[in-house]
Amino acid sequence: MSKTTLSLYELNQQVKGALQDAFPGSVWVRAEIAELRENRNGHCYLDLVEKDEATDQVIARMRAMIWNYTYRMLKPFFETTTGQPFTQGIKVLIQGIVEFQEVYGLSFTIRDIDPAYTLGDIERRRLEVIRRLESEGVINMNKELPLPLVPQKIAIISSPTAAGYGDFVHQLENNSYGIKFYHKLFPAIVQGQQAPESITAAFDKIYEHIELFDVVVLIRGGGASLDLLCFDDYWLCYNITQFPLPVLTGIGHERDRSVADMVAHSNLKTPTAVAEFLITGAGEVLAAINSYALELKNLVRERLAKHRQKNDRLWIQLKPAARRVMSAQHNHLLRLAGKVPHVSQTVIREQHQHLDQYSKQMGLLPQTIIRQERRNLQEQVTKLRHSLTRIFTHQTEKINFIEKNNRLNDPVNILNKGFTLTYYNGKLTKDAAALTPEMEITTRFRDGSVNSTINKKQ
């Protein structure tokens, strides 16, 4: 019995004909751009995929292309409308023709794109990040940290070449109050796909020397709205919520507010606005201290003036009394001298002794009163100083208690108790049902992490 056979070319022709019959015109397709390449002729080649929403596994894949004359129009149209680059990692709604070539196989030639679909997906992912942080109860954790009274030791996360970084440092170092701020830069990439990982690494470096700083400032210069997409990354924002120091953001956009701005302790529009926030706060404290010092100075002056007036009154009252005593004693001596001439010399000597004693007592009395009042004044100053010391000590103990609670609630402490975290493709996995044999996973311990491959699942 003879077998019916086809050549490969004939088979591909039949497949091509079947596809042309099934898709005679263009179709709209939803997909994610997994890879994108532009060749020197201006053509754009793409690798389109669709992923399972539950497992994030690729369930479909197809090659696609955009001819240069179409790509020159589609790319600027998409980027102008969405405010973000036409690149890999985004979801798109595209119109094109399904084609099959005998040599190159199946492909999809793109002719049009709907930017509104991508905009909706970006906003959807942003809202998903916000809802996830809210459901985990961490979205306001950094906001609840107490801001130091005068934050002077500042850790800066920024690109060293960013104009915003230079403006921020210049503003701090040339403040009108003459306040000294200590700052250190932890360089990071602040835009693009590598930005979240780079910024998170900078936070980790700051954490290694956390006792040296009061706050963390995350800043960047101005730029397009698409540059803000990295600040909507879940893991970056989660890291900010968990950081034990207040985080201040100055990303440099007047209208847009990223998720990182939402979870930070304080968010300002620009780097210079962050600097002004720190300077103004320190200036208000300095003004309050000067005001307290002036009040204390005036209080001391008032007390001294009151005691001086009291001493003057006592001295004025003392002089007539002394004169009256001396006059009475003098008259008494005269009477004794007249009555008893033979003992006058003895009496006179005794009375002169009494007069000398009275004169000394009268001379010492004002000094004694002044010393007593001075001691009273010193006691009042000492009590005031002790009262201020107790207030500052109480506030310091309160701040230490809050910091201790924050450290006890740190997830790192949970890892130190022996618990671990399992990640697949960089995402935290909570259920064994999401894992299958041959998958490569990462297990995080308190002192590091290990990579492993699943051999068996129970």
Give the mean model confidence (pLDDT) for residues 229-251: 92
Write down the pLDDT at residue 227. Answer: 61
Give the mean model confidence (pLDDT) for residues 44-48: 93
Write down the pLDDT at residue 221. Answer: 67
Highest mean pLDDT: which range of 17-26, 62-71, 117-126: 62-71
Between 339 and 294, the more confident residue is 294
411/128 Cα distance (integer angstroms): 22
Sole residue written with tokens 């001391």 = 300
Write down the pLDDT at residue 246. Answer: 96
Residues 6+ apart with CB under 8 A from 22: 98
Residues 6+ apart with CB under 8 A from 69: none
Give the mean model confidence (pLDDT) for residues 59-70: 92
φ/ψ region of 147 (left if φ > 0, alpha if ψ in -120 to 50, else beta) reads beta
What the block records as the tokens of 177 is 């109050």
User: Over 70: is that where the pLDDT of 2 sits?
Assistant: no
User: Over 90: is that where the pLDDT of 240 sits?
Assistant: yes
On whether the CB atoms of residues 409 and 426 are closer than 8 A, the answer is no
Question: In which band, very low, low, confident or very high, does the pLDDT at 254 lie, cut at 50, 70 and 90?
Answer: low
Question: In which band, very low, low, confident or very high, does the pLDDT at 87 lie, cut at 50, 70 and 90?
Answer: confident
On whether the CB atoms of residues 419 and 425 are closer than 8 A, the answer is no
User: Over 70: is that where the pLDDT of 347 sits?
Assistant: no
* Closest to 123 in 3D by CA, of 90, 101, 145, 156: 90
pLDDT digits 0-9 by tens, 362-408: 666 677 777 888 888 888 888 888 887 888 788 888 888 887 877 77
On whether the CB atoms of residues 169 and 183 are closer than 8 A, the answer is yes
Write down the pLDDT at residue 255. Answer: 55
SS3 for the chain is CCCCCCCHHHHHHHHHHHHHHHCCCCEEEEEEEEEEEECCCCCEEEEEEEECCCCCCEEEEEEEEECHHHHHHHHHHHHHHHCCCCCCCCEEEEEEEEEEECCCEEEEEEEEECHHHHHHHHHHHHHHHHHHHHHCCCCCCCCCCCCCCCCCEEEEEECCCCHHHHHHHHHHHCCCCCCCCEEEEEECCCCCCCHHHHHHHHHHHHHHCHHHCCEEEEECCCCCHHHHHHHHCHHHHHHHHHCCCCEEEECCCCCCCCHHHHHCCEEECCHHHHHHHHHHHHHHHHHHHHHHHHHHHHHHHHHHHHHHHHHHHHHHHHHHHHHHHHHHHHHHHHHHHHHCHHHHHHHHHHHHHHHHHHHHHHHHHHHHHHHHHHHHHHHHHHHHHHHHHHHHHHHHHHHHHHHHHHHHCCHHHHHHCCCCEEEECCEECCCHHHCCCCCEEEEEECCEEEEEECCCCC
Question: In which band, very low, low, confident or very high, does the pLDDT at 158 lie, cut at 50, 70 and 90?
Answer: very high
43/41 Cα distance (integer angstroms): 6
Write down the pLDDT at residue 325. Answer: 82
* Closest to 265 in 3D by CA, of 245, 285, 236: 245
Write down the pLDDT at residue 327. Answer: 81
User: Over 90: is that where the pLDDT of 242 sits?
Assistant: yes
Write down the pLDDT at residue 309. Answer: 83
Sole residue written with tokens 């700052």 = 183
On whether the CB atoms of residues 47 and 35 are closer than 8 A, the answer is yes
Write down the pLDDT at residue 78. Answer: 87
Question: In which band, very low, low, confident or very high, does the pLDDT at 213 lie, cut at 50, 70 and 90?
Answer: very high
Residues 6+ apart with CB under 8 A from 422: 428, 429, 441, 442, 443, 444
Write down the pLDDT at residue 245. Answer: 95
304/458 Cα distance (integer angstroms): 86
349/126 Cα distance (integer angstroms): 107
Write down the pLDDT at residue 284. Answer: 85
User: Over 70: is that where the pLDDT of 225 sits?
Assistant: no
* Closest to 214 in 3D by CA, of 139, 278, 284: 278
Question: In which band, very low, low, confident or very high, does the pLDDT at 200 lie, cut at 50, 70 and 90?
Answer: very high
pTM, two decimal places: 0.48
Sole residue written with tokens 């009262």 = 387
Give the mean model confidence (pLDDT) for residues 407-429: 78
253/269 Cα distance (integer angstroms): 6
Give the mean model confidence (pLDDT) for residues 141-146: 94
Write down the pLDDT at residue 67. Answer: 93
On whether the CB atoms of residues 131 and 192 are closer than 8 A, the answer is no
On whether the CB atoms of residues 14 and 6 are closer than 8 A, the answer is yes
pLDDT digits 0-9 by tens, 299-342: 888 888 788 888 878 778 777 877 888 888 878 777 776 676 66
Write down the pLDDT at residue 110. Answer: 92
Question: In which band, very low, low, confident or very high, does the pLDDT at 220 lie, cut at 50, 70 and 90?
Answer: confident
309/315 Cα distance (integer angstroms): 10
Between 364 and 167, the more confident residue is 167
Pairing, β 58-66 against β 105-113: parallel
Write down the mean pLDDT value for the chain: 84
169/215 Cα distance (integer angstroms): 15
Radius of gyration of the chain from its Cα atoms, rounded to whole angstroms = 42
What the block records as the tokens of 259 is 């998720």
User: Over 60: is that where the pLDDT of 223 sits?
Assistant: no
User: Over 60: is that where the pLDDT of 85 sits?
Assistant: yes
Question: In which band, very low, low, confident or very high, does the pLDDT at 243 lie, cut at 50, 70 and 90?
Answer: very high
What the block records as the tokens of 81 is 């409308």
Write down the pLDDT at residue 82. Answer: 76
